[in-house]
C-alpha cells in the first residue's frame, strides 16, 4: 500500500511527495548523487514556507517552498 500524505495550512496544500522531490533536487544541485541518499527526514514548517531536511542522519539543509 502506498500512502499519499498532504499537509494543509490556511487553505493551502503541499504533498509529502513534493517536499521529497524538492529535497532530492536541492541535493543534486549541491553536486551529490541521489543514490547516496539512504535516509531522508523532512520537517516542513508551513508558517515559514521552509522545509528542513536531514540526509543519512548527518547532512542537514533547508529550502523554501510555498504550499499552493
Evaluate whether residue 38 is within a structural domain.
Answer: yes
Cα(56)–Cα(34) distance, integer angstroms: 12
Q: Which domain holds residue 19?
A: 6-64
User: What is the domain count for the chain?
Assistant: 1
Evaluate whether residue 11 is within a structural domain.
Answer: yes
Q: How far is CA 63 from CA 1, 3, 19, 39, 60, in A?
A: 29, 24, 9, 18, 11
Note the pTM of the prediction, 2 decimals. 0.89
Nearest by Cα to 6 from 64, 63, 68: 68
Whether residue 18 is predicted with pLDDT greater than 90 in this model: the reply is yes
Evaluate whether residue 1 is within a structural domain.
Answer: no
What is the reported pLDDT for 15?
A: 96
pLDDT band for 67, please (50, 70, 90 cuts): confident
Evaluate whether residue 42 is within a structural domain.
Answer: yes
* Higher pLDDT pick, 10 / 19: 19
Percent pLDDT > 70 in the chain is 100
What's the mean pLDDT in 17-26? 96
Amino acid at each position: 500500500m502506498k500512502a499519499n500524505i498532504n499537509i494543509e495550512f490556511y487553505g493551502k496544500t503541499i504533498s509529502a511527495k513534493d517536499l521529497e522531490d524538492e529535497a532530492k533536487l536541492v541535493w543534486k544541485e549541491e553536486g551529490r548523487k541521489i543514490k547516496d541518499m539512504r535516509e531522508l527526514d523532512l520537517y516542513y514548517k508551513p508558517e515559514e514556507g521552509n522545509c528542513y531536511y536531514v540526509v543519512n542522519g548527518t547532512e542537514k539543509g533547508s529550502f523554501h517552498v510555498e504550499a499552493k
